[in-house]
Amino acid sequence: MASGIFAILDDIAALMDDVAVTSKIATQKTAGILGDDLAVNAEKATGFLSSRELPVLMKIMKGSFINKLIIVPFVFLLEWLYSPAITIVLIFGGFYLAYEGVEKIIEFLFHRPKKGHEVIKEKEVNVSEKPEVAEKEKVKSAIITDFILSVEIVIIALAAAKTGYATLKSEYDPFLVEIVTVSIVSIIATIGVYGIVALIVRMDDAGFKLIKASNDKGFLSKLGHFLVKALPSVIKILSVVGTIALLLVSGGIFVHNIAYIHHHLPTTIPSFISEALIGLIAGLLVVLIVTIFKKLFGKKQTA
């Protein structure tokens, strides 16, 4: 009996050794997309009242876990049934990310902030409901964006797990190693990204506590004031970085999954610029289609 238990433990240890190798490769391969995921989600998690930041972040994080619980088995099922379908799913996700990025740029360039009487009129309409509605919509948008980014993370992790397994002299079924590897990377990605986002959005609170603890004197006080003053700048930078990340991720999806684009990409231009431009063009195309659809749908309703 005891020898059987030790044999099982030995098998688990050997399996985890294989998983450690494949997980390391998968984590390295997904590092870029995780950075983009961090920038996008940090921007999505800001703009709320201080008391609502962590609750909102927890809602988005919960949605992210649910996303991955759906995506991981779905990707493996697609891989088993019809592997080219994974590429098709990625490309559709790329169009959505490109659309989100371009929509942000258009909003910044053409939708000026309301002033004066416009603000007063806006505040008169459902003042008590607007923060709740805005929070719900932003959480929904963040979870949808996270879903698209999570699809790419899972697929890249799966491809990396396959590559890592090929380098091993493993006695275990590759399918088992791939499942464990992708699951571990998914958990690390979610906890890691949203843990860092939580630290960012609570910078000002940490600063206030340092100021209070030091009686507004000395190094800790200066550090506290720096954190408080730095947060608005960090949020603005993350907003810009998050928008660029959306275009880069979407452009990267098209470049790596559409052979025609990959083969006709100019070699004289840095790849990140080419990918951003392709993401921008794709986003503009989707915005145009959505705008035309809205106009046609609006005409049908008013007729």
Contact 111, 190 (CB under 8 A): no
113 pLDDT higher than 60: no
- What's CA 129's distance to the chain center, in Å? 28
Kind and range of the H or E element at 181? helix 174-201
DSSP state of 303: -
Among 154, 159, 161, CA closest to 19: 161
Q: What residue type is assigned to position 97 of the chain?
A: L
Count Cβ atoms below 10 Å from residue 216 Cβ, excluding itself: 13
What count of other Cβ atoms lies within 10 Å of the Cβ of residue 186? Answer: 23
Give the Cα separation of 36 and 189 in Å (integer).
12
**Residue 98 · residue 279 · CB < 8 Å:** yes
* 255 has a pLDDT exceeding 70: yes
Confidence band, pLDDT 50/70/90 cuts, at residue 277 = very high
Top-confidence residue, 231 or 273: 273
Higher per-residue pLDDT: 51 or 139: 139
- Rounded CA-CA distance 150/237 in Å is 23
Over residues 186-204, the pLDDT tens digits come to: 898 888 888 888 888 788 8
Q: How far apart are CA 273 and CA 277, in angstroms?
A: 6
Torsions phi, psi of 12, nearest 5?
Answer: -65, -45
Domain of 213? 2-302
Question: Are the CB atoms for 225 and 211 separated by under 8 Å?
Answer: yes
Which pLDDT belongs to residue 287? 93
What pLDDT was estimated at residue 283?
A: 93
Top-confidence range, 84-93, 135-144, 275-284: 275-284
Contact 238, 42 (CB under 8 A): yes
Q: Which of 51-55, 99-103, 104-108 has the lowest mean pLDDT?
A: 51-55
Domain count, the chain: 1
User: With pLDDT > 90 as the criterion, what percentage of the chain qualifies?
Assistant: 10
